């Protein structure tokens, strides 16, 4: 992968902070001034000399863009890889190739209407509904299925304020539903789920060197995301209770077991799901575990 230059699209807006943290945790910190649009990715000597016989990492030439524009630039081939929401990728009919679903910034694309308009929680059969949205393609597809004679009204943000005077219904993204509720709206349908994804252009994936670089980036980011779900548990246990303890431990393939000095006791290490900690630690103690240490993980590559 030496001398490979990758054009990277970084999102500007609500998903930016989480993407930058993900990149930093993967060893690719982003440095940019407050008003700059062309940040530095990694350290100044990124793509430097080979280390221990391994080749150089790719050089990333990055630019901050709105997610919608990242999708368009991937389709044009001016960006090799980039982050965008699945909602805009579908809305724009993109041919970009999804490499990784980060699960970050999860939202639902929903249809919502004023509570007073609904009957038993559903939209009444009514002709000429005005449906406001930033997503024209998604909205027209929904209209063709459930309200073919409706009128599409384009919004440029703050879609939730359109009803009831300027629209009857909206199609918008929704994270918690609190904004909809605050504006007297209720969800009547869900169009899709979306999250921040890493995409590659078809042109980049057709180039062997760039394809390898894109897949390596996805591997690094995926390793960080996997590590966030787990913690490292280290525990000592008498040999007489080793089998009893390991039977209760969740692990990826098998626990790492090492004899301690004297050979009577053992040290056990597992990368356990973070969500299991509350029940797991007391159970380890019940099964003879001592000197329990729980530590954070940076990356896990299966």
| Chain segment 226-284, per-residue pLDDT in tens | 999 999 999 999 999 999 999 999 988 889 999 998 889 999 999 999 999 999 999 99
Compute φ and ψ for 32, nearest 5 degrees.
-155, 150
Residue 51: predicted pLDDT:
45
Q: Are residues 17 and 93 in the same domain?
A: yes
Q: Are residues 89 and 149 in the same domain?
A: no
Round to whole Å and give the CA distance between 11 and 19. 8
Instruction: Show the tokens assigned to 99.
Output: 């490499």
Structural domain span for residue 154: 107-193
Residue 55: predicted pLDDT:
58
| Chain segment 150-167, per-residue pLDDT in tens | 999 999 999 999 999 999
CB 110 within 8 A of CB 191: yes
Q: Are residues 93 and 159 in the same domain?
A: no
Q: Are residues 112 and 96 in the same domain?
A: no
Q: How confident is the model at residue 3 (pLDDT cuts 50, 70, 90)?
A: confident
Q: Are residues 132 and 266 in the same domain?
A: no
Residue 67, pLDDT above cutoff 60:
yes
Asked whether residue 302 is assigned to any structural domain, the reply reads no
Mode of pairing for the β-strands spanning 169-174 and 151-154? unpaired
Round to whole Å and give the CA distance between 196 and 21. 13
Asked whether residue 278 is assigned to any structural domain, the reply reads yes
CB under 8 Å to 196, separation ≥6 — which residues? Answer: 11, 15, 18, 19, 83, 84, 85, 102, 103, 104, 105
DSSP 34: T
CATH of the domain at 260: 3.30.70.120
Nearest Cα residue to 188 out of 115, 254, 259: 115
CA distance from start to end of the chain = 22
Domain count, the chain: 3
CATH of the domain at 144: 3.40.190.10
Q: Peptide bond preceding 232: is omega within 30 degrees of 0, i.e. cis?
A: no
Q: Are residues 41 and 167 in the same domain?
A: no
Q: Are residues 54 and 203 in the same domain?
A: yes
pTM of the model: 0.89
């Amino acid at each position: 992968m030496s001398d490979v230059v990758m054009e990277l699209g970084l999102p500007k807006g609500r998903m930016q902070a989480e993407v930058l943290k993900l990149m930093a945790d993967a060893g690719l910190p982003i440095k940019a001034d407050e008003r700059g649009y062309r940040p530095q990715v990694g350290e100044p000597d990124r793509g430097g000399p080979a280390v221990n016989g391994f080749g150089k990492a790719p050089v990333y030439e990055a630019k901050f863009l709105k997610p919608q524009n990242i999708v368009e630039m991937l389709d044009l081939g001016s960006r090799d890889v980039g982050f965008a929401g699945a909602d805009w990728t579908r809305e724009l009919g993109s041919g970009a190739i999804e490499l990784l679903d980060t699960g970050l910034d999860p939202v639902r694309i929903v249809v919502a209407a004023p509570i007073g308009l609904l009957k038993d929680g559903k939209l009444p059969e009514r002709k000429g509904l005005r449906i406001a949205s930033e997503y024209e393609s998604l909205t027209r597809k929904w209209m063709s299925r459930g309200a073919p004679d409706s009128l599409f009204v384009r919004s440029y943000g703050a879609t939730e304020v359109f009803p009831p005077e300027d629209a009857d219904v909206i199609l918008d993204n929704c994270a918690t539903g609190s904004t909809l509720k605050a504006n007297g709206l209720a969800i009547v349908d869900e169009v899709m789920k979306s999250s921040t994804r890493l995409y590659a252009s078809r042109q980049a994936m057709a180039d062997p060197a760039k394809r390898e670089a894109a897949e390596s980036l996805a591997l690094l980011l995926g390793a960080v995301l996997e590590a966030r779900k787990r913690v490292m548990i280290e525990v000592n246990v008498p040999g007489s209770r080793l089998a009893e303890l390991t039977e209760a431990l969740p692990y990826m393939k098998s626990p790492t077991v090492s004899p301690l000095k004297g050979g009577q006791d053992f040290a056990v290490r597992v990368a356990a799901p973070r969500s299991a900690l509350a029940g797991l630690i007391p159970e380890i103690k019940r099964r003879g575990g001592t000197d329990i240490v729980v530590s954070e993980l940076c990356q896990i590559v299966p």
